[in-house]
Chains A and B, each alone.
Chain A
Amino acid sequence: MRVFNYKIFFIIIILLALLVASYFYYIHENQKQEILFFDVGQGDAIFVNLAGNNEILIDGGPDNSVLYKLGRFMPLYDRSLELMILTHHHEDHLFGLIEVLKRYRVKKILMYCESAKENLTDVLTEFFDLIAKEKAQILCAEDLTKLDLNSALLIMIYPKKNCAVCAADPGGNNSSLVFRLDIDQGEKILLTGDIEEKAEKEILATNAPGILKSDILKVPHHGSETSLIEEFLAEVSPEKAVISVGQDNKFGHPSLRTIKRLERMGVEILRTDEMGDIIIKE
């Protein structure tokens, strides 16, 4: 039996090669900067696509859907992430990162190191094992004030060294990383993980006023009513607020009170459960 017709086979290969080449040309010509709040259900996964092949992933959501999103929004030839940020250890932020580590080359990982090795769950252990295998560089949030990302600047706000609020619940909501991302000639975005009232008060007390001021706020803790106190929101005073939340989740997020609070401030609310992936183009 003759399965191969070499002539046709080679023609197909050449056509495919042409297709590949034109695809890359297209991608190269249409490079754009954008911030994507992935709709990953109840959890956070935020992807920042900066100029010059510079990608940041903040949290991974509760399952592998982040991988599907990355596959759709990253160019084919790019199998690496410049920076991965784990805000805190809860599974709706951590879980998806495991498969990302397995499938993508991750260069740097930013996290809160002080309590990282406490309350080690099986998932967290796997996470650290994979980082070790990948030989990714770990950056400790408490040692940083700024991180230069070429076309953006990351300003670390919380947690600081010897953070008492964090020590009360290592790896928990109140030890979430809070930082501001200033995109060059673009927006300022405040990312807040899952912080609650306690951490917000701590941030307000220990930081110079003005540092929180941003254009876009990722609403802390999926819009839970234990977060986003009035004073904190007033300090940020964003134009837009993004709530990353799953449809009909069992926690009742986002709370009506938080929504009302944002509406009173005249903030435009963007919700992943209503809009799907939220894309903010620069």
Chain B
Amino acid sequence: MLIEARQITKAFGGFTAVDRASLAVEPGEILGLIGPNGAGKSTLFNCLTGDLRPTSGCVLFEGRDVTRLAPEERARLGLARTFQVPQTFEHMTVLENVMIGAFLRTSRTSEASARARAVIDTVGLGPLADTPAHSLGTPGRKRLEIARALATRPKALLLDEAMAGLTPAEIARAIALIRDIHASGITLVIVEHVMEVVLSLASRVVVLHQGREIARGTPAEVTRDPVVIEAYLGKRAARAANRDAPESTGRSP
């Protein structure tokens, strides 16, 4: 297992955001993490990346306990992430943004610059390398987020709602990019709202609801699961889906 989360609980005062959730991510797979709003996906995600310390439970990366490691140390081990709201380095160019990622693996500016350029080309931002990052629109920034993370040569890339705010055409392009990244051998964990993305990319899916895991399996299995449908749409929809069960096409709720 590449990444493992065991019995992660995260409480904020009296409110428990994540309740004994566990995950196992095999090398080379794409794991989807979904659930309705407030399900605790982001919280669990941030426990994996090190931005939050779980109240209890542990996170392992390549068998090693990283629960107490800071985000920068996890990055060094090969665990990279993007942010839901792109945290672009506004006052730097696109190239310089990506160089920050490249600097993890080299201390020489010329080498970091060359590697950054290569990554920028692979994500399709090549012509914009020397433009100020603040001039990019949302799809460009999201792509930049990914490029930056890729420049750190990660073993696993965790994407936090990378599709939020994109048009269907942009989503299709992003999916293609993610497939390319996956093909290059990087393991992916995707937190997503947009169902079609998860269904088309993930090999396995974990569903969270109110901090607890309620289902796991393949995308098809999970979307047919009445417990999942109920979580998203309420009891009525679940009953309706049950009635239609034989004809169910496994389309997203």
Partners in one complex: no
- Residues on B facing A (Cβ under 8 Å): none
- Residues on A facing B (Cβ under 8 Å): none
